[in-house]
Every structure is written in C-alpha cells, then in structure tokens.
Homo-oligomer: A and B are copies of this chain.
Amino acid sequence: MPTPEPLAHPSRDEIELAAVLHALSDPVRLMMVRGLAGALEGRSCGSFDVPVTKSTCTHHFKILREAGVIRQRQEGTKRVNTLREDDLEVRFPGLLATILQAAEDQSLVSTQA
C-alpha cells in the first residue's frame, strides 16, 4: 500500500493573514470551518453536507490546511480535520471568532429572507 503523502502544515508563526482570509473567502470553505468549530475530535470530508464532489472537498481542505486554518491527520484511509483555533487565536486574536460570528449573522439573515 502506498504511503500517503505527508501533510504539510505551516507553523503558528508562519500563518499569514492574507492566506487565512483567502482560505475563508469561499462560502463552501466558510461552511466547513463553521462545521469544524467545536468538533474537537475532528471531522472527515465525508461528514460534511456540502454541495461539492469529494475531490473538490479534498481541494478545499488542502487550501484550509496550507493557510494554517485547519490541521489534517491521516487515520487509516481517512483524513480527519480539526480547526487550529488556539494557533489562530494566538497569531490573530479574535479573528476567527469574529469571522465565524459574521458568518452566523449572515446565514441567519439569509434564512429569514
């Protein structure tokens, strides 16, 4: 069985604001990150109810990982994703929480509309 490719993660200090904002600037990725918030054990791609194919899902998680927003670990054939809340909070205090709150506010308004 081939070894899965190693999953590169930026260190906390290497996390760049522009990359984080880019990673969160896509509605599907924003939805995924909201789904990961509070899921301490992590979630795999398949556990998300998002309107994209599995390969697109994988691509989105790669962008989130490379930006330093999530951590991915291999468990057998699955990749489990967790949010790097602590790293992001130290690097950019309040940023993730504010963006998640904004996403929630916007989605509440769209639901009411």
Contact = CB atoms under 8 A, between A and B. Distances in A.
A99 interface: yes
A17 B33 CA distance: 14
Contact of A18 (B18, B27, B105, B109): B27
Interface residues on A, range: 20 to 34
B18 A25 contact: yes
A73 interface: no
A72 B49 CA distance: 39
Contacts of A98: 92, 94-95, 98
B26 A24 contact: no
Contacts of A56: none
B17 A102 contact: yes
